[in-house]
Amino acid sequence: MKKAKVICLVLNNFKTDNRVLKEANHINKLGFNTTIIALHEDGLKEYDFTNENTRIHRVKLASKNWSKTKLVQLLKYFEFLIRVSFRYKNSDIVHCHDLNTLPIGCLIKLLSFGNAKLIYDTHEFASNDKPFESELSQRIKWLLEIFFIKFADEIITVNNAIANLYKTLYKLKNNPFVIHNCPEKIFIPDSNILKEKLGIRSETYLIIYQGIFSRGRNIQQLISFMNNTKIENIAIVFMGYGELEEEVKNAVNDKIFYHPAVPPTELLNYTVSADCGISLIEDSCISYRYCTTNKLFEYAMAGLPVITSDLPEQARLVKKYKIGEVSLSNKLAHLDKAILSTMKIKNHELEKNLANFTDKYNWKNQSSELTKVYEKY
């Protein structure tokens, strides 16, 4: 029997997109002929395979080296849309990751005369996913989403709170599928790699922030905190990349350290070498307000207590499973209190609570929801 063709669409270079990697590999294991479609970038292979043998096609654009003005970026998008839509118009299932690929999936569905199935997998609350976003930007994205979402055969999102918002906002008949972005449940051996590589004293209580360095994630506030706290013998490592990368690098001192992003397959080996993980998201857009960040699940899987912002979903999980502390704000006094409380957590209690948390929130459990989406086809 001929395998159904699935394409997983992303509008990035597919270097560090861990959610797409896990989902595409799982779909491939289910017996589908799966290809990840991404953007080509110098130094990356145009045709490649994931660590589990799922095909990757990074599309080369003639317009790639043109300027980055908004109009030219739109032209690049249309070139990508045309190249992908006509090359992959015979796909059986188009799995669109985020709103920016949804119009491409709709065009492929149109070119297939409605035969292609369309799955919309939104990793955020798409119409307000940027901190401090203008009303005009939100309105444009809402109009795009309300038009294109009606062509989706299935909708996937990242937690129950955002799923409920989608169902209400777009008057969906069925609940979206919820797939949390959790790591595999694996044993991670103890490591001291960050302290050894960065020359941090072994007795230092090391906090890690891993992920994107962007506004709305309290990067600058964490830097300020580390420079002003009176807590002794602590340090922080910022591991990742993003618009605030130079600011992070310029802040490096004997308490603040920088490490570049590492591949998803190596990430937890670095995470486990810290003593605590931190994820301070600002309530600066709807997506951030109701987020459950990748970091939360990654820190827990690596056996670290977690410090989070006092936002509904993150705070609920941390309090329910007793896996860390919630900081009431990013002010010095509140962060001091959260970190000092975290440092006092008893190891045996933490291990038990983290085990309960990761028994539920791991990729094996989450991927079973993805199986439910695809077993219809």
**Which pairing describes strands 276-279 and 256-260: parallel, antiparallel, or unpaired?**
unpaired
Residue 256's SS3 state is strand
Rounded Cα distance between 377 and 373, Å, is 8
DSSP string of 115-179, one letter each residue: -SEEEEE-SS-GGG-STT--HHHHHHHHHHHHHHGGG-SEEEESSHHHHHHHHHHTT-SSPPEE-
Bridge partners of 257, per DSSP, are 237
DSSP conformation class of 335: H
Task: Kindly state the tokens that stand for 33.
Answer: 């002929």
pLDDT number for residue 265: 83
All CATH 3.40.50.2000 domain ranges in the chain, comma separated: 5-182+363-374, 193-360
**Considering only CA atoms, which of 202, 334, 179, 204 is closest in space to residue 256?**
204
Q: What is the pLDDT of residues 184-219, one digit of tens each?
A: 998 899 999 999 999 999 999 999 999 999 999 999
The string of pLDDT tens digits covering residues 228-274 is 999 999 999 999 999 999 999 999 999 999 999 998 889 999 999 99
Chain segment 334-360, per-residue pLDDT in tens: 999 999 999 999 889 999 999 999 999
CATH assignment of 5-182+363-374, among 3.30.565.10, 3.40.50.620, 3.40.1280.10, 3.40.50.2000: 3.40.50.2000
Listed in sequence order, the residues at least 6 apart from 103 whose beta carbon sits closer than 8 Å to its beta carbon are: 81, 144, 148
| 314-341 pLDDT, tens digit each | 999 999 999 999 999 988 999 999 999 9
Q: How many CA atoms lie within 13 A of 233 on its CB side?
A: 8
Helix (H) or strand (E) holding 289: helix 286-289
- Give CA separation, 308 vs 23, 91, 214, 322, in Å: 26, 41, 17, 12
The pLDDT value recorded for residue 2 is 65
Place of tokens 């079973």: 368
Tell me how far apart the alpha carbons of residues 124 and 146 are, in angstroms, rounded to a whole number: 15
Local confidence band at 16 (pLDDT 50, 70, 90 cut-offs): confident
CA angle 133, 176, 265 (to 5 degrees): 75
pLDDT tens track for 38-86: 999 999 999 999 989 999 999 999 999 898 899 999 999 999 999 999 9
- Nearest to 51, CA basis, from 17, 9, 21, 95: 21
Rounded to the nearest 10 degrees, the angle between the axes of helix 312-321 and helix 347-360 is 120
pLDDT at 1 over 80: no
Q: Write the DSSP string, 11-55.
A: SS--SS-HHHHHHHHHHHHTT-EEEEEEE--TTS-SEEE-TT--E
Q: Which pLDDT score is estimated for 347?
A: 86
Separation of alpha carbons 146 and 185, rounded Å:
37
Burial of 266-281, coded b for 16+ CB within 10 Å and e otherwise, reads ebbebbbbbbbbbbbb
The CATH number of 193-360 is: 3.40.50.2000
Residue with tokens 């490649």: 48
| Distance from C-alpha of 350 to C-alpha of 304, rounded to nearest angstrom | 8
